[in-house]
Structure formats: C-alpha cells, structure tokens
Amino acid sequence: MVFGKPPDGGWGWVIVVVSFFTQFLCYGSPLAVGVLYLEWLDAFGEGKGKTAWVGSLANGIGLLASPVCSICVSSFGARPVAIFSGFMVAGGLMMSSFAPNIYFLYVSYGIVVGLGCGLLYTATVTITCQYFDKHRGLALGLISTGSSVGLFIYAALQRELIELYGLDGCLLIVGALSLNILACGSLMRPLESSSSPPPEKMCVDKVPDQYFVYHEKEKTVEENISILEKGYIDEKCVNNVPDCKQEGILNKNVLSSININEKDTYKKKVVEQTNFCKQLAKRKWQLYLTYWKETMVLFKNKVFSALFVAILLFDIGGFPPSLLMEDVARSANISEDDYYMPLISIIGIMTTVGKLILGILADFKWVNTLYLYVTTLLMTGVALFAIPFAKSYLTLAMLSGILGFLTGNWSIFPYVTTKTVGIEKLTHAYGILMFFAGLGNSLGPPIVGWFYDWTQEYDTAFYFSGFCVLLGGFLLLLAALPCWNACTNQSSKLPPNTYSYKVASNA
C-alpha cells in the first residue's frame, strides 16, 4: 500500500499524543511488574526463578514476536491492530486477577499481555513514521518516553492499589485502565493511500479470480446443456417414440464432443494455473534464500556479530534489576518506613532522562556512538557488581538511578546499528538484534531467580549479571577497535552522520 505524503504536523501531533498514552497504558504494568512479583511470591509460594518467568515473558515476548507483529500491522493497519491489542492487554490483566497458580499467569500475563504490548509498540511506531518525515526523530522520541513514564507512575500506583484492594483488585483496576487504549487506537486515523495498487499485486490477484470466473462459466454451460438435452429428449419421446433412442444417441455424441472441448480448455487452464503457482513458489523461495544470504553476510561483519552478543548479554544481566530490585531491598531487610519512592519508579524516571541525554549526545559529530554505547555497557556492569554491597535504601536508590540512566542507551542503539551495517541493511539487522534482545529479556530474570533459589542470596546472581554485561561490552570494544574505521569507510558513500542518525532512529 502506497501512503500519501507525511504531513509532519496537523493530525500527526494527535497521533503522537495517543501513541504516548498507548505506550504509557500498555507498558506501565509490565515494566513495573516488580511490585506484583513480590505479591506473587507470597501468594503462590513458588521459587523466585519460576515466578520471575511471568515478568520476563511479558517484557520479552513482544520483542521475540516482532516479525509477526510487523506482518499484522502491515496487513491490517495500525488502527485495527491497536484496538484488538487493547482488548488483549486489558483482558490479560483482568484474567490474571483470577489466576489459580503461576502457570496460569505465564499465559494470561506473560504471553497475552506481552504479545499485546508488542503489537501496540509496532502499531504506534508505524503510524507515527507514516505521519512524520522531517520531525520523525522528535515524534518517536516523544512517544518512546510513554513507557518510561508509565513505569514511574505504575510502580507507585500498583503498590497503592494492592494496599487498598489487594492483588486481585489491583489487576482488575489496572486492566480497566488499559481499556483506554481502545479510545487511543480509534484516533489512529490512517493516511489516505493511492487508489492504484502495485502492478505485481494486480497480476497475482487477477489469476485466481480469472480461474474462479472460468470455473463458474464452465459450470453454467454444463447446466444449460443438461437442461436442453433433457427437454429435447423428453419432447421427442412424447411425439415419436421410435425416434427417441436415435435422437438420444445423436445428442450424446454432440454433447460428448462439447464436453471434450470443455475438458481440453479446462486442462489448459489447470496447466496455466499450475505453472503460475510454480513460478510464484519459486520466486518466494528465492526471496527466502536471499534473506538468509543477507543474514549470513551481516554476521560476517565482526562488529555486528559482537553487537548481537552484547545486546543478548546486556539484556540477560541488565534487565533483572528493573524486575527484582524491590525484592533485593526486602532481602536486605530494609524497612518500608525508609521508602521515599519505589526503587522501580526511580529506574523509570531515570530511564527517561537517560534516553534524552544520551540521544542528545549521539547527535554531536565529535561523539562516536559505538564507543558511547560500549561505555554504557561497561558502567552498567560495574553498577551491577556494586548491588551486593548496597545495604541501605539510599545506596540502592542511587544504584537504581544509575542503572535506569544507563538503560536509556536504547535510544542510541539504532544509531549504533546504522553505523555498523549501513542504512540499507538497518531494518534487517535491527529485526535480528531485537529478537535476541527479547531472548535476553525472557531469560535474564529467571536465571537470576534460580541463582537465588540455589544460594539463598542475591550476591552471586548480580555478580553473574555484571559479568555478562561486562563480557558483552569488552567483546564489542575489541571488535570495534580494529574494524570501526573500516566500517566508517564502507558507509562513507552514505549521507553525512547527522542524516544517518536521523534515519537510524526512525527504524
């Protein structure tokens, strides 16, 4: 479908507002699931590793299913997908309030809510990109802060709702709030598309329709012939009985010749249709082969290979604090009276600050975005190593703020991907990297929880997390040192860096 020219304003700013609130409403609870995690531990009495799967699935399944989400939005449009996904998120949250065990939550909260969030994220980004061209980076930056603001507010909101109405009441109210996504989705008016479809699509769609029409015509001819034959024979048999058999034989010979011609035409059409299907299948197979060849070419790039390892290890080690930090404070015997603000709320607000500041730094020509990203990885690893030594609310709050700020490196990750593979391969490469990021999100919290179940303390778990992030950072640094100039030279034919950054952030 060919869309009209992006207006870069007008109704586009309404799209920005509703997309912001959509991400706020759908990601608020999954990102602040650490508050619910404590209640589920007490309610079901399962291990920390098994319980952590609920939050990790809710945050990772959307990234893992990103190819499916993209296909859905491309096929049905952003507005229908947003409305349908609003029902998924709200329904999943409300169903979770009736969960009899942890396995029910895997489906209701982990898969249903997680997949709904993934669909909504793809829908909001897609509709925003359609409405903006010159100000696309600003628009995407504004809507991306919706999830971080949601984390900040929902952490305190869910804690207050649990105290007032209990865990079940909290999930019901949060699910009811998510129904506002339906109102936001209804305002995602698509741009007008051109009336003429692409020639290739016309050719593909036309052949089955022709065959269907031919099949109907063939059926009509046979029915008419049978009716005429029956009427003619009946009339002859009434008027002249001796001629009945002779006329019947003559008519059968004529009709058999007609049927032979029709069968030959039918066979010809079947052969044509079969050849068309073979050509279509061959072309699709060539597209799949081309996709896998391009994927292998990407992994021949040392920096890209190190980048995919780094993002996987970063999400395995860096994501658990946002889910488990509240339980870390409880394990350190910190009194609730010392709480001035939930630790997850601190992570959320500092993530917003980190996205903005790191994004601004990436726009400076003298800043190498790859080295900036590596620096955030190494600092994250050091902060994770420091968590076992934090025994007070103040130190945990400081570490939560630092980790939240460094997690804002998501805003510069598309820039790094662009500098590594070039703009032409950005979509392909970014999809692969997001899949591994979702895999890391899904595996990180359960691994940390299993470490606690094994050792009955979080120290070893966060040492492991810090080691994973530091390993990914050092691997990326080693791969970048000899190859960064080569990658820059390969992409020297591209537009200037500022233009490359703008395009990368739009992916």
CA–CA separation, 355 and 279 (whole Å):
48
Integer angstrom CA distances of residue 461 from 299, 314, 428, 464: 31, 14, 34, 5
Q: How confident is the model at residue 288 (pLDDT cuts 50, 70, 90)?
A: low
pLDDT digits (tens, 9 = 90+) for 446-469: 888 888 888 888 888 899 999 999
Fold of 285-485: Growth Hormone; Chain: A; (1.20.1250)
Question: Residue 266 pLDDT more than 70?
Answer: no
Record the tokens describing residue 356, joined without a space: 């903005």
Q: What residue spans define the domains of the chain?
A: 1-193, 285-485
Whole-Å CA distances, 101 to 40, 98, 104, 448: 9, 9, 6, 21
Share of the chain above pLDDT 90, in %: 24
Give the confidence band of 170 by pLDDT, cuts at 50, 70, 90.
very high
Which of the given ranges, 35-44, 297-306, 474-483, has the highest pLDDT on average? 35-44
pLDDT band at 284 (very low <50, low <70, confident <90, very high): low
Q: Report the C-alpha gap between 394 and 65 in whole angstroms.
A: 38
Residue 334, both tokens: 């910190």
Is the pLDDT at 296 greater than 90, yes or no?
no
Q: What is the pLDDT of residue 496?
A: 40
**What confidence score (pLDDT) does residue 386 get?**
92
Is the predicted pLDDT of residue 184 greater than 60, yes or no?
yes
pLDDT higher than 90, residue 86: yes
Question: Are 94 and 149 spatial neighbours (Cβ–Cβ below 8 Å)?
Answer: no
For residues 307 and 416, the answer to whether their CB atoms sit within 8 Å is: yes
Structure tokens at 483: 């190859």
Q: Is 32 helix (H, G, I), strand (E, B) or coil?
A: coil
Residue 218: what pLDDT? Answer: 42
| pLDDT at residue 39 tops 50 | yes
Sign of the four-CA dihedral 373, 322, 471, 429: negative
Tell whether the model's pLDDT for residue 71 goes beyond 70. yes
pLDDT for the residue 384: 92
User: Which tens digit of pLDDT belongs to each residue from 400-458?
Assistant: 999 989 988 877 777 787 777 776 676 677 777 878 888 888 888 888 888 888 888 88
Residue 198 exposed, middle or buried by CB count within 10 Å (0-12, 13-18, 19+): exposed
Higher pLDDT among residues 297 and 401, named by residue = 401
Highest mean pLDDT among 137-146, 216-225, 355-364, 387-396: 387-396
Phi and psi, residue 5, nearest 5°: -70, 135
50 Cβ contact list (under 8 Å, min separation 6): 102, 446, 449
pLDDT (0 to 100) of residue 235: 46
Please tell me the predicted confidence (pLDDT) of residue 210: 40
The whole-chain average pLDDT of the chain stands at 77
Q: What is the dihedral of CA 131, 132, 136, 139, to 10 degrees?
A: -50
For residue 500, the model assigns a pLDDT of 36
- For domain 1-193, which CATH number applies: 1.20.1630.10, 1.10.150.120, 1.20.1250.20, 3.90.550.10? 1.20.1250.20
Whether the CB-CB separation of 298 and 432 falls below 8 Å is answered with yes
* Phi-psi domain of 368 (left: phi exceeds 0; alpha: psi -120 through 50; beta: other): beta
Q: List Cα–Cα distances, 423 to 416, 469, 502, in angstroms.
A: 11, 27, 10
Per-residue pLDDT for 61 more than 80? yes
For residues 213 and 201, give the distance between their C-alpha atoms in angstroms, rounded to a whole number: 19
The residue among 501 and 32 whose pLDDT is bigger is 32
pLDDT tier for residue 19 given thresholds of 50, 70 and 90 = very high
Choose between 273 and 86: higher pLDDT: 86
Q: Tell me, what amino acid is at 351?
A: T
Predicted confidence at residue 403, as pLDDT, reads: 92
Average pLDDT, stretch 379-407?
90
Is residue 317 within 8 Å of 467, Cβ to Cβ? yes
Say how far apart CA 180 and CA 115 lie, in whole Å: 18
pTM for this predicted structure: 0.66
Shared fold status for 1-193 and 285-485: yes
Which pLDDT does position 209 carry in this prediction?
43
DSSP-based three-state secondary structure for 179: coil
